Structures are given as structure tokens and as C-alpha cells.
Chains A and B, each alone.
Chain A
Amino acid sequence: MAAASDRRRINAPSSGTSAPVFARTVKEPGYLQSLRPARTRRPNELRKTFLQTGIVPSASGSAYLEIPTTSTPNSKSTLIPPTSSLKITASIQGPKPLPRSAPFSPSLLLTTTVKFAPFATRHRRGYIRDAAERDLGVHLETALRGVIIGERWPKSGVEVVITVLEGDEDGWWGDAGQESASGMNGGGWALLNVLAGCITVASAAIVDAGIDVVDVVSGGVAAIVRDPTARNETERKVRILDPSPAEHQEIVAACVVGYLASRDEITEIWMKGDVGADSDGLIEGATYAAVGSVGVLKDVLLEAVEAKFKNQAATTSKEGTKRKQQDVKMTG
């Protein structure tokens, strides 16, 4: 599917330029491999998450999520970071009435837009959404549609706008020359991490906007990776939670879920790769990861509510919105 090219701006070359090959990586065969990052976390240990709500004053609800990189460069001689981090913002517009020309809708119309910033990944993204971004938008819509109680807002619409400021990488940068290593089973593993982040951050923003939901949905990823150090074939496939694709040479299969923890239900599941017989185990792993992020989500939402009520008690003005009240607190 040829993406429509953006003719209104002067664009950078679509494919970008290839990174320089440093002489040392060619001269010493083992040197490049020594830079390869390795997972230092335990198989079921998640990365730390930073989440904050109410960051965009003009939106009815917003949130920001950051999952910083864990591995530190094991060599001081290179400038290239071994793994990337994940930074996502979400903002909610609405619920607002549909335009008069729109046909009648008995429930809330949900529109999700996922956009990578042009600088979000190693390959530059254009200003027009490409197929992968649209696909993520559909996945996110599926995850949220089952959660929002849409029948309470007839004839209205809400827009969920997600901007990915920094996306996880599909693989280690050293493997970029040979696609076979990371892209053995289709590649694109980073999109799953991005989707999990999108689900969590969109969920926080929806709660911040005060839209009725049946439960707080959160995203989690699990993957089956091939461990090159294991001795026999049965030990070689390991299930890990919250994979960082750059840290693994070969990912066999991965799964992301949008999970409703208190109802024990899954609104969104996206599994790909050569799963084999253990698809249940992979889904279960992804739900564990989602439970991990729901803990963060609940704490952050609780904090936001506490801050709101503290401000309400402090100020007598009733009309001020939450963010105005925060401003009052800071000045006085």
C-alpha cells in the first residue's frame, strides 16, 4: 500500500541515511558483539514506569508515560545508546457533540489517532500516518471501546490523540545490517511495546477526562525469546515479561494484551510469531505484565484525585477547573 507522499513540505529522504560503520567494528570481529546489550532484569521483572496525568491544560484529559531504559552501556567507548526508552503522551478531546451533519449515533463515537513523532525512531517517520500507525490506532480503539460505557453519551464523540515521542526499537542497532537476526519471524516487535504503553497511557487520560469506564484497562507485553546460552532445545525458549527488543537476539513470539484487572477480562489481544503450543502461557504472562502496570496506574490516579480534593478544600471558588486550582495553589 503506497502511502500518500506529503507534497506540502520539503521532506527529508524517506529512507534516511545509513549510520556510519566504524572501523573498529570491521577490524575486530568480536568487538561489535561485545557492545550487544543483555537483559539484566529477571524474566518476570518489569521496567520502571513513570506516569503523570493532567499535563495538557487545554485537553479534557491527558497523560504522559515514560519507560526509561534499564541497561547502561557496558562500554564507555561508544556514543550510541544500547537500548531506547518509551515516551508517550495522550490527550483526550471531548466528549463533545457531533457536528450537525453527522448521522445519529446511539453511543459515544471513539476516534483514536496514534502518531509517531518524526524523531521517535531511528528511521524517520513522515508527517502523514503510515500503515503501522493506523494499525496501532485500530488496536487501541479495540482496547478502549469495550471499556468505555458509550451508551451514556449519545450523539457525541471523543478523540484520543496519542503522540509517541520516543518509541522502542525493533532490534539492536548492530543488527540493522542483517535483518535476518531480529526479523526472523516478521519483526516489528517494538510496536507491541508501544501499543501496551498506548493502552496504559490512554486509559489514564480517559480517567483524567472523567469518562465513565467499566474498569481501568492496562497494557502488558510478554514474549518468548530464544536463549543462545542454554544447553538443550527445551530450555532454549524462555518466556519473559516486558521484553526490550534490543536486548534479545531472537524473539520467537510476543503478545500484548489490554487487560481489565478487576473483571479478569481481555479487551485487546495481539499475538504474533511462532507461538507453538504455549499460547495460553504467553497470554497469561502478558496479563501479569498488565497487572504490574495497573498498579502504577491506580497509584497515579489516586494521587491525582487526592491533589484535586485537597485543592477543592483550600479554595472556595467553585467554577475553577482542576488545573486552574493548581495554579491558585502555586501562587498563594
Chain B
Amino acid sequence: MAPPQAAHVNLSPAELSFLRATLAQTPPIRLDHTKGPKDFRSMRAEYDVLPGANGSARIALEDGTEALVGVKAEVEKSPWRPSATESNVLSVAARDVEMRDQDEDESRGKGQNAWIEMSVEIPGFRDDDPLPVFLASMLTESLLASGELKDRLYINRRFHWKLYIDILLLSPPLSYPLALLSMTTHLALLTSRLPALKSEKDEDPLFDDDWDASVPLYPKDRPTQPDTPPVIVLAMAVGSNIIFDPCKEELSVADAVLAVACTSAPSSPNGARVVSIRTIDPPSHLTPPGIPNAMNSATGGTVPASGAEALTQRELLANSGVWTPPRGGMKRGLISEVVKMVVEKGGIAEEVIGALQSIEVG
């Protein structure tokens, strides 16, 4: 049967109903009442924590969730693929060499998805359980979406970098860890460096052994197209309210949960651009429904005589305040509102990316 879900919340139907009511009013009152709907939990972040990795970062949230990410790069031989277009490329290259003199163009479109390998390790879960698999595929997908990172891993026709991103959640998953893992990965990739290449063209690659000469994986000195790793923002909907970075208890009353991955986009009028969106199954669907006093003989009510009658009475409870697990999905307008709040100028995504960048600078 189904494996146990991530850290079930032990709240009674009455508590769930109360929590939902406070989150659904305007303005919503969150569990931590000092925070507004757009506020994130405070965190401690540091980078370059692992001396043996090309880049690493650690972020600890205030509720004790802590993640560690290490990025390691290895030189790997590219398998030669027989392809029909190979000969065309060669003949074109021989005719107009001057067109291909830029490094950028040479590696463009040559990267492959298999060059990035990601593993997510969560204590208490096997690596083929649904949660780690889902987290790894969402993180990989958003990383590959722009296609620029994997092109930067191209060395020459025979060799390429292989990037291993190992994500470790050090604490049990107290809240849904997607946002935390993505922020830690973002910081680790942002501070990753690769050794500078000394060899030319299709020679066997030879690298500068001076670490000070190494090049950042995400170069900062490209004003035309600065590129940052993606960051994933978790948003949940309660009634018509949208709340970002929900904690575990808040998630247990959510109507719907959405994960939005974005990267920075300075050229567009928006603050960020979306690279991936996924819905996440809210744990509220598994919460126990409440029993109203009218149906409970212990509180002076009458127990319905038949199953059908009980069902009818339950359906009439919709707005009575007695907790019933939410049904259905998310309205389309609400989704577009979430996306707008995330990507707009000065929106959530820009704020998070800016904050993570300032950690490196400061």
C-alpha cells in the first residue's frame, strides 16, 4: 500500500477549521502572526562549506530544516555519435571559419541533458520514493529549461564536464522542502567554479591548477545576458488568499499548492521569467473530516440512520465551519495571479534571487 506521507500533521478537525478560517480572512493571519502573506521564513545561509566540491552551500531555516548541496564537476569523454549531419558541419566549418571564432557560438546547442546529474537524499525516504523523485525531477527540469548551463559544460568535441549536484536534507522534512532545496542549489551553483581551460580546440583538455584563475559556472561579467540558476517558489491558495512559503501546519489546510520555478530576466519588462510550474498535492486532502454536533450522539445529536443519509448530511455541511477536506482544484484566475505575483517587477522571484546574490557579495 501507499508509503507514509511526509511528516503528517497531527491537528484535529476543529484546529484545522480554525487555522483555515484565519488564513482565509482578509488580511490573512498566518501561524506566525508577524508575517504577511508574502513573507518568507528567516534563514541562515553560507556557501563554500565543502572544501572538496566545486561549489557548495548550506541553508538552515528557522524551524530547524537544513539542507546541504555540493556541486562536483568531472571531465568526461563525449561519445562520438555517427550522424548524418556531421559531414555537413565539417564542410561548412572549412568554408567559413571566421564565422565560428567565438567561443559562445561554438558551444551553443551542443550541451546534453545527461551532463547534469542530480540526486536528492532525504532522511527516512528511499531514493525511489515519490517525494525525492518528484523533487529531483522538478529541480532538474528547471535547471535544464534555459539550455545555457549545459552548453557551458561543453569543452570540445571529445570532452565535456559532467556536473553532479548532490542535494542532502540534513533534517527530517518538517515542511515541504522543495523551496529550501532549490534555494540551496541556487546558491551552490551560483558560487561554483570550474578550473580554467589552458588547452585549445580539440586537444586533450589541460587545466590551470591555480584555483584563483578558475572561472565561475555562472559568469557575472556578461551584461548582455546574465543568467542565474532557477529558484523555486512555493505558493498556496486558501480561499482567495495566496500565501507564499507556507509552513507545515499551513500546508495542511491549503486548497491547492503551486510550485513556480523562475530565473532572472533583466531584458524583459518582468522581474523574472517562468521556466516551470507544477502543482503539488496538498496534504489537506488526507486530513480527517470533522463530525458536527448534530450528527454526533455524544453531543446530543442523532446519528444518521443509513449511510446514504449520512452522506447527504455531510454534503450540506459545506459552509458550516465543520472541517471537510478540500475538493477539486485551483481556479485558473488564481494560477495566473500567483504567476503574476512571482514574476512581476519587484515580485517574489526577483526578491529571492536578489537576496541570494547578496549573500555571495556580502
Contact = CB atoms under 8 A, between A and B. Distances in A.
Contact of B279 (A26, A129, A264, A269): A269
Interface stretch (A6-14, A173-181, A228-236, A303-311): A173-181
B285 A273 contact: no
Interface in A141-191: 141-142, 145-147, 149-152, 157, 174, 177-180, 183-188
B128 interface: yes
Interface string B121-136: 0000001101011101
A119 interface: no
B119 A1 contact: yes
Given A106-B286, A111-B1, A151-B324, A267 B329 contact: yes
B116 to A, nearest CB: 10
B357 interface: no
Given A151-B325, A269-B278, A110 B2 contact: yes
* Main SS class of interface, A: mixed
A260 B145 contact: no
Query: How many interface residues does chain B have, given as a range?
Result: 35 or more
A272 B141 contact: yes
A178 B88 CA distance: 13
A103 to B, nearest CB: 8
A177 B81 CA distance: 7
B87 interface: yes
B327 to A, nearest CB: 5
Interface in B39-93: 81-88
22 contacts: A1-B119, A1-B120, A1-B136, A21-B82, A129-B128, A145-B285, A149-B327, A150-B286, A151-B314, A177-B83, A180-B110, A183-B112, A184-B147, A265-B328, A265-B330, A267-B330, A271-B276, A273-B275, A273-B276, A279-B336, A279-B339, A284-B332
Interface of A: 1, 3-4, 18, 21, 25-26, 29, 32, 98-99, 102-103, 105-107, 109-111, 129, 131-132, 134-135, 137-139, 141-142, 145-147, 149-152, 157, 174, 177-180, 183-188, 214-215, 255, 258, 260, 263-277, 279-280, 283-284, 287
Given A21-B82, A279-B277, 4 more contacts: A1-B118, A106-B289, A151-B324, A273-B276
